[in-house]
Amino acid sequence: MFATDPLNAVIYDARLAQELEAAFERDLEDCYPFEPGRYRRSPVLKRLHDSAARLLSPPL
């Protein structure tokens, strides 16, 4: 399994489920929608890095 593979889990412990949900909500604060136009205007080195990472990742 690779880090980009989806994973489903059933959490029975209510406290752990709340902690995980809170962590997810905190992560969402750093997220923003992907905008193709904005990405095209990003620095060339950033796009090159992204392309190299995509080539090195397992095929989807």
The residue among 1, 3, 16 whose CA lies nearest residue 53 is 3
Mean pLDDT of the chain: 88
pLDDT digits (tens, 9 = 90+) for 28-51: 999 989 999 999 999 999 999 999
Token pair for residue 40? Answer: 């095209």
What are the structure tokens assigned to 23, written together? Answer: 């962590």
Place of tokens 């923003």: 32
Whether the model pTM is above 0.75: no
The CA distance from 51 to 57, in Å, is: 10
Instruction: List the domain boundaries for the chain.
Output: 14-56
